């Protein structure tokens, strides 16, 4: 896929993976629009990369999303929708039978999964109208093997992965020009990884892999340890489970 002169919308684009993606897409000649809930972070991102367009919006809100769509229509539309926005609840709030579990689970699903569907539905016709366009949905290494400490986050990413497969096949049957990519990162060194006892990769390395996958039309982009866990889970699932759910994580569940 050609990235030069494409216009990309990155949700959750004001920090972490999204901000690094904005940087690298700019370096590849793309026009970048970022969105997020924190105006302070959006302002900081705009100061760092003046050529980006930053719009305050929340994928959980249907009203926000509709307003975002109208603003982007006025800007001339997009060629690539990168569904990067995501949240994860802290382990102390994740006991499956604990008080507040439903609220945290609902919050994670509303952003990580339903937000993806909302954005794709809104922008689908716009993307279909382009000669070459794409949707990037963010799954996770935990969409293959769940982490006990993050049950609903893992479930939300598994939902994204299955939905992405179905969406891709549906659009292929319709002979659409919209390409559908699944990005499945391992643990990445961002604020979301705080408190996780596992090795991480940098946002730069992750986005390098994403850019390479897009250019080569690799629709399932598994980065770093995700590749190994994917294969292990197919042939040696108990080993894959043990690698994701190590002794340190078990201790956290007991505390």
Query: Which domains, from first to last, does the chain contain?
Result: 7-254 (3.40.50.720)
Sorting pLDDT into bands at 50, 70 and 90, what band is 101? confident
Among the ranges given (153-157, 237-241, 247-251), the one the predictor scored with the smallest mean pLDDT: 247-251
Residues belonging to the chain = 255
53-56 sheet: strands from edge to edge: 53-56, 31-36, 7-11, 80-83, 133-138, 178-184, 220-222
Q: Between residues 250 and 224, which one has the greater pLDDT?
A: 224
- In the chain, beta strands by DSSP E: 7-11, 31-36, 53-56, 80-83, 133-138, 178-184, 220-222
What pLDDT is attached to residue 136? 98
Q: For residues 139 and 157, is the Cβ–Cβ distance under 8 A?
A: yes
Confidence of residue 254 (pLDDT cuts 50, 70, 90): very low
| Positive or negative torsion for Cα 192, 139, 58, 45 | positive
What pTM does this model have? Answer: 0.93
Q: What is the rounded average pLDDT of the residues 117-125?
A: 98
pLDDT of residue 34: 98
Q: How confident is the model at residue 198 (pLDDT cuts 50, 70, 90)?
A: low
> What single DSSP character describes residue 110?
I
**Which of 78, 181, 69 lies closest to 128, judged by CA?**
78
The yes-or-no verdict on residue 146 having pLDDT over 80 is: yes
Which residues belong to the active site? 153, 157
Helix (H) / strand (E) containing 153: helix 151-173
Condensed to tens digits (0 to 9), the pLDDT of residues 5-55 reads: 999 999 999 999 999 999 999 999 999 999 999 999 999 999 999 999 999
Q: What is the pLDDT of residue 255?
A: 38
State the Cα–Cα distance between residues 44 and 214, nearest whole angstrom: 27
Report how far Cα 172 is from the mean position of its chain's Cα atoms: 22
């Amino acid at each position: 896929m050609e990235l030069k002169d494409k216009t990309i919308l990155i949700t959750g684009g004001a920090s972490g993976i999204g901000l690094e993606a904005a940087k690298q897409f700019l370096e590849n000649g793309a026009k970048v629009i970022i969105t997020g809930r924190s105006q302070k972070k959006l302002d900081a991102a705009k100061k760092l990369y003046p050529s980006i367009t930053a719009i305050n919006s929340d994928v959980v809100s249907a009203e926000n999303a509709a307003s975002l769509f109208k603003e982007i229509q006025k800007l001339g539309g997009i060629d690539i929708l990168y569904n990067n926005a995501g949240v994860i609840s802290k382990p102390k709030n994740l006991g499956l039978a604990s008080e507040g579990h439903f609220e945290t689970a609902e919050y994670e699903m509303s952003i990580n999964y339903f937000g993806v569907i909302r954005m794709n539905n809104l922008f689908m016709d716009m993307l279909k109208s382009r000669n070459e366009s794409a949707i990037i949905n963010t799954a996770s290494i935990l969409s293959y093997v769940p982490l006990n400490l993050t049950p609903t986050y893992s479930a939300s990413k598994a939902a994204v992965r299955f939905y992405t497969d179905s969406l891709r096949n549906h659009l292929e049957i319709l002979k659409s020009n919209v390409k559908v990519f699944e990005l499945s990162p391992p643990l990445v060194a961002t604020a979301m990884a705080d408190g996780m006892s596992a090795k991480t990769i940098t946002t730069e390395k992750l986005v390098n892999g994403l850019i390479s996958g897009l250019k080569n039309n690799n629709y399932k982009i598994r980065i770093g340890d995700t590749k190994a866990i994917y294969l292990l889970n197919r042939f040696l699932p108990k080993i894959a489970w043990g690698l994701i759910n190590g002794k340190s994580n078990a201790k956290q569940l007991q505390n």
